[in-house]
Amino acid sequence: MDLKAIIFDLDNTLIDFLTFKKETAKVAATAMVREGLPLTEIQTYGKIFSVYDEKGIDYQKTFRDVIEPFGFDVNKAERIQQAAIVTYLKRKFEVLKPYPMVYLTLEKLRKRYKLAIVTVAPRNKAWQRLVFTNLQNEFDIVISKDDVEEKKESGFDIAAQRLGFAAEECMYVGDNAERDILQAKEIGMKTCWAKYGSMRKTSETKADFEIDRFEDLLKIIKG
């Protein structure tokens, strides 16, 4: 294939985002119960994920939403919320990581291709996660949710334009087999499903390729 650029999704493709969200929810739940939330840790963990499901995984007031229905006085509510936030942040620094072999694989790919990110995460969160995982200098361009809203085009169109390549010269790699893969394919990009990051047990995908490990990308590109 006459490939010029590879465009990556960020969360659950480059970064093991789900492990990070699960691990931080666990410790936050423990802290909230310790500070007086009248639920078990498992129930609290469940409530945190209900808020994520309803409001989106990047929602910024998750713990407040969990605490609010109990009608505590403001100081107790704040104490429980801050206990959750502090433990969440401490744990975040330990668990937010790229998948194995991401650095080495990107290093090899960079020698031959332009590399980009298209993510549905907000701009500040995307960059925060990139800096955090030391991936901030690996990509030629980063297109976030905010860039898409400003331009009113799909992130894939914007990425191809900014890279200066036709969609057909780009390959998209992402874990979302439905929305993202289909959108990229629709405009003519090659697509690769990052099966290892998929939260849903999708068995079928319209992607041209699929990978069980990040580094398998190198095999696909050689082939």
Amino acid at 89: L
Residue pair 171/188 in contact by the 8 Å Cβ criterion: no
Closest approach, Cβ 124 to Mg ion, in A, equals 17
- Residues in the interface with Mg ion (CB under 5 A) total 4
Hey, which residues does 6 pair with through a beta bridge? Answer: 115, 171
Residue pair 167/187 in contact by the 8 Å Cβ criterion: yes
Q: Does 216 bind Mg ion (CB under 5 A)?
A: no
- CA 175, CA 11: separation in Å to the nearest integer? 8
- Contact window for Mg ion (CB under 5 A) among 78-86, 148-156, 174-182, 207-215: 174-182
Interface pick for Mg ion out of 5, 6, 8, 11 (rule CB under 5 A): 11
Q: Where are the alpha helices (DSSP H) in the chain?
A: 17-34, 41-55, 62-67, 74-95, 102-110, 123-132, 145-151, 155-163, 179-186, 217-222
Angle between helices 74-95 and 17-34 (to 10 degrees): 150
Q: Does 133 bind Mg ion (CB under 5 A)?
A: no
Interface pick for Mg ion out of 16, 147, 157, 175 (rule CB under 5 A): 175
Residue pair 168/201 in contact by the 8 Å Cβ criterion: no
For Mg ion, the closer CB: 27 or 118: 118
Closest approach, Cβ 6 to Mg ion, in A, equals 15
Interface pick for Mg ion out of 5, 7, 8, 12 (rule CB under 5 A): 12
| Residue list 29-48, contact with Mg ion (CB under 5 A) | none
Interface pick for Mg ion out of 5, 6, 9, 15 (rule CB under 5 A): 9
Q: Does 16 bind Mg ion (CB under 5 A)?
A: no
- Contact window for Mg ion (CB under 5 A) among 126-134, 158-166, 169-177, 184-192: 169-177
Structure tokens at 46: 């469940």
Q: Which residue is nearest to Mg ion (CB)?
A: 12
Binding site for Mg ion (CB under 5 A): 9, 11-12, 175
